[in-house]
A and B are shown apart, each in its own frame.
Chain A
Amino acid sequence: MNNKIYNFKVLKGILLSNLFAFVLIGITRYLELHPGVFVYAEFVIIPLVMGIISTWCWRDLQLKSRSLTGLSCVNGLLAIVLSSVFLGEGMICLLIVSPLILGFVITGTVIGKAMFKRDNKNLNMSVLSLLLVLFVADSVSDHQHERMVSDIVVIDAPTKEVWKHVVAFERIDEENKYWLFQIGMPSPVAATVEGHREGAGRKCIFSNGYVFDERIAVYNRERDLTFDIVSQPKDPEIMGHIDILRGQFLLKDNGDGTTTLTGNSWYRLYVFPLWYYDIWAESITRNVHLRVMDHIKSLSEKK
């Protein structure tokens, strides 16, 4: 096979599969099947079918694993780049979504290779029909997920001292240990309050200058500070993907001069599948907690 035909078939596989993906996403957006939510079907079934479509275009090329994997990566990366252009996604989001998209595009090529090797039209139609049914079923299903993440730190200081740094705290200057913060994801740096009472405004300031506006819902001195998130920044990394709903610090006097500090956060996710995105959401929330709570610990234990 000459180079011209080879290149044409490779390009055809990449372009056709991406065209398929964007037309399908466009249709679901137009029909408003799941407004404001990115569903399992978009991150799993579409990449799978993209892999199958590209393998169909490349079925005469006798591609080996290395080339097939490489071309699948190009295919998936093009879809990711186009998503960033059309959907305005941030770099961290793209990084998080990459293993899922690339993994399922490669899985699609493996399935496609097996399908077209057998060349059983009934089997091929069955596989594609099943994927279509799954896509439609998932697209019209209700998607809601809210959860709480909780972390505990024991501080070698009395509750009275810890409380001073819980309500508001001065700037965090310690280096970030969490890899996502190190590569540019905003991390919390300070908190300010308008008053020490229920209903007072509180602001949590992040490293890139973004501010979460909060309102104190429970102000139980030296025991419980609970606040609702009134508005969160319009950051492409979080906008439309996660809403932080509520935060809470609970203090418990251990009776030996130490305090157990519990940090709780409630969030709502708008990206699915949960088995993938909830791991990230939990990890990020936990590291936001720990960054703040370690800071409170170090301020409280300062002699």
Chain B
Amino acid sequence: MFAFTVKWLGFLKGIPGLALFFDALLKLQLFLLRPQLLSMLDEIELEVTSWEGISARTHKYGGLQFDYLDKEIGHLHSNGLLDILFSFKIKEQLREEGRIQDHHVFVNTGWITFGIRSKQDIPYALCLLKRSYLQKINGRPAQGYRSDH
């Protein structure tokens, strides 16, 4: 459903509040079908917001965005998809590890998507976020950036 909506109805995301409503429906679906995944997302939020300089806010297209000094380090959609922007080089390295996918919309960019499905995925999600966080701390520019995301 997520893939269908993003592919065919993605053009509607500019309507104020609609993406938030869609994300709320994802949250509702998760609460009804896999409530433990919501707890895992909470666990990630708790850990990441404990890092120095990190704040969490609502992502403009729904979900939870983590910022380091107002710069995004990644965001979590309410269906457990974690999106992070890396350089192309890091994306290739991560791809070799075999756990990430191209971003669900921006395929030919540095954006990656990692699907959190079980408790075993939490350490890897945190590792990806930490990598992005450290990159921001070190002030490295994020190549492959798409400003409309």
Contacts and interface: CB of A to CB of B under 8 A. Distances in A.
Interface string A169-207: 000000000000000000000000000000000000000
B145 interface: no
Interface string A258-297: 0000000000000000000000000000000000000000
B12 to A, nearest CB: 10
A102 B28 contact: yes
Q: Name, among A70, A102, A106, the residue most crowded by chain B CB atoms within 10 Å (CB to CB).
A: A106
A103 B42 contact: no
Contact of A103 (B21, B30, B38): B21
B42 A65 contact: yes
B25 to A, nearest CB: 5
Given A103-B28, A106-B28, A111 B38 contact: no
Contact of B58 (A64, A66, A103, A114): A114
Nearest to B36: A66
B27 A69 contact: yes
A107 interface: yes
Given A64-B45, A114-B57, A106 B24 contact: yes
Interface residues of A, number: 17
A110 B42 contact: no
Interface residues of B, number: 20
Contacts of A106: 24-25, 27-28
A65 B41 contact: yes
B28 A73 contact: yes
A104 B24 contact: yes
27 contacts: A64-B39, A64-B46, A65-B41, A65-B78, A66-B31, A66-B35, A66-B38, A69-B28, A69-B30, A69-B31, A70-B31, A73-B28, A99-B25, A102-B28, A103-B25, A103-B28, A104-B21, A104-B24, A106-B24, A107-B17, A107-B20, A107-B21, A107-B23, A107-B24, A113-B58, A114-B57, A117-B57
